[in-house]
Chains A and B, each alone.
Chain A
Amino acid sequence: NAGVTQTPKFQVLKTGQSMTLQCAQDMNHNSMYWYRQDPGMGLRLIYYSASEGTTDKGEVPNGYNVSRLNKREFSLRLESAAPSQTSVYFCASSPWAGTGGNEQFFGPGTRLTVL
């Protein structure tokens, strides 16, 4: 089991460029999440997908789009990158969305720098 995988691990973009961050999980989880991690701010939720075919905004969705391609894959797209999007991005998955507080499993992260 690879768990949650993310590509790429590192990326440098120029302002205005676009890119897609890929995430896949092999645990048959229903729910998937994208977070960004910035110094002193913990993790902030960008978008999540409670189940295949649904996506919802999190705390900081502006400047991002997502696609839940199938049950395994959940991608994050930056259409026109800005320096404020320099961050470490984490994908996570959990068995299902609900009020039980299921454990989330995290990928290794993508370190993105926007110049």
Chain B
Amino acid sequence: GNSVTQMEGPVTLSEEAFLTINCTYTATGYPSLFWYVQYPGEGLQLLLKATKADDKGSNKGFEATYRKETTSFHLEKGSVQVSDSAVYFCALPNTGNQFYFGTGTSLTVIP
């Protein structure tokens, strides 16, 4: 089945630093790809998605490009803020509408 491999954390950055969280996928065909974010004490919420190869998803200053050549969907942000501290999950659909979630990458941004 489909799966993702996600960069392990935790990641600690200073405010305004550049963020990259790596995600590579294994999939049949070209499924949509997703990044979810989980803030402390909350459930997951969709951060961004890309529905086909070469698409770029973006939201709240975060971006990720669906690259079929490298089977990657890395999450980036040019200047992180303290409020970006959260756990980030890469995900893709598996059979039916089941999702396969990565193990999550914890990000802490310090002032």
Contacts and interface: CB of A to CB of B under 8 A. Distances in A.
A93 B44 CA distance: 12
A107 interface: yes
A101 B101 contact: no
Contact of B43 (A42, A50, A58, A108): A108
B85 to A, nearest CB: 17
B17 interface: no
B26 to A, nearest CB: 15
Please report whether the interface of chain A is mostly helix, strand, loop or mixed according to DSSP.
loop
B18 interface: no
Interface residues of B, number: 22
Given A42-B102, A100-B32, A106 B89 contact: no
A101 B89 contact: no
B103 A41 contact: yes
B43 A106 contact: yes
Contacts, number: 65
B69 interface: no
A63 B103 CA distance: 23
B37 to A, nearest CB: 11
Interface string B60-102: 0000000000000000000000000000010011001111011
Contact of B98 (A42, A58, A90, A106): A58
Interface in B23-62: 31-32, 34, 41-46, 49, 51
B2 to A, nearest CB: 10
Contacts of B96: 48, 50, 97-99
Given A42-B103, A97-B97, A106-B45, 20 more contacts: A31-B97, A33-B98, A42-B89, A43-B44, A45-B98, A48-B96, A48-B98, A90-B43, A92-B43, A99-B31, A100-B93, A100-B97, A101-B32, A101-B49, A101-B93, A102-B97, A103-B49, A104-B46, A105-B45, A106-B44
